[in-house]
Amino acid sequence: MHKQIFLSVIGLFAINSLSAQWTPKNTEWYAPVPPVVKPAAAPGQPPSDAVVLFDGKDLSKWETLKGEEPKWTVEKGEMTVVPGTGEIRTKEYFGDCQLHIEFKSPKPGEYSGQMRGNSGVFLQSIYELQVLDADDNPTYVNGMVGSIYKQSAPLANAYTRNGAWQVYDVYWKAPKFGTGGKLEEPAMITVVLNGVVVQNNYVLQGGTEYIGLPDYKAHGRMPLMLQDHGTAVVFRNIWIRNL
């Protein structure tokens, strides 16, 4: 113990004497120069290098899980889930990314809990950030809006009200797999809902399972997927930046 303290003191002394010889320039660098990204004129709109996945006009960037044209509707700049027509995914594949997506829950009708305004943003088609109406709609907290489904409840309920647009900004670090598909780095996510952090660098335990425990299966870049959970959830202004 005493030896350790002695060595620490010697170490600090060595670092201090070394730092004393440094100039400010020793810790400044000039290359590589970060690329210029022109921010959008209005907050929430895509910056210059974003891949715009839905600009309100059509679903040309999307397909069904069978690779067919999606049957979700597009009207007035919004896309709406047509219940029973299935999930849709991007034609393009993504890894680490920044994602912006806005959604609106349909009128509740007689539905409650997981049946009310359920959809999902599936990062890399595997990891679900829940989309759900949280307007006076109790459910299990690790399945509410802002949750990483059945893994992590949100830090706060930042949902506003049924019928109002909700805004997700997502920062995604894809899992990394090594030889033989061995997990080297788990996925990590930060989620901001309506300007409020609801997931703060949460480290995922694997895919988000409905039944059973999460687990990782090796994969590379994957499409972004949106869920058809039987309710007519509406989306708009979807863009993504590769990181």
Q: Which residues bind Mg ion (CB under 5 A)?
A: 118, 120, 227, 229
- Whichever of 118 and 237 has its CB closer to Mg ion, that residue is 118
Whether the link from the prior residue into 106 is cis, omega within 30° of 0, is no
Q: How far is the CB of 15 from Mg ion (least distance, A)?
A: 51
Q: How far is the CB of 130 from Mg ion (least distance, A)?
A: 5
Q: How far is the CB of 33 from Mg ion (least distance, A)?
A: 42
* Cβ-Cβ contacts under 8 Å for 1 (sequence gap 6 or more): none
- Whichever of 50 and 170 has its CB closer to Mg ion, that residue is 170
* 3-state secondary structure labels for all residues of 64-121: ECCCCCCCCEEECCEEECCCCCCCEEECCCECCEEEEEEEECCCCCCCCHHHCCCEEE
- Whichever of 48 and 112 has its CB closer to Mg ion, that residue is 112
Q: How far is the CB of 110 from Mg ion (least distance, A)?
A: 19
Phi and psi of 218, rounded to 5°?
-60, 140
Q: How far is the CB of 83 from Mg ion (least distance, A)?
A: 13
Q: Give me the residue whose beta carbon is nearest to Mg ion.
A: 120
CA–CA separation, 17 vs 200, rounded Å? 38
CA–CA separation, 97 vs 223, rounded Å? 12
CA–CA separation, 174 vs 189, rounded Å? 9
- Whichever of 118 and 137 has its CB closer to Mg ion, that residue is 118
- Whichever of 90 and 208 has its CB closer to Mg ion, that residue is 208
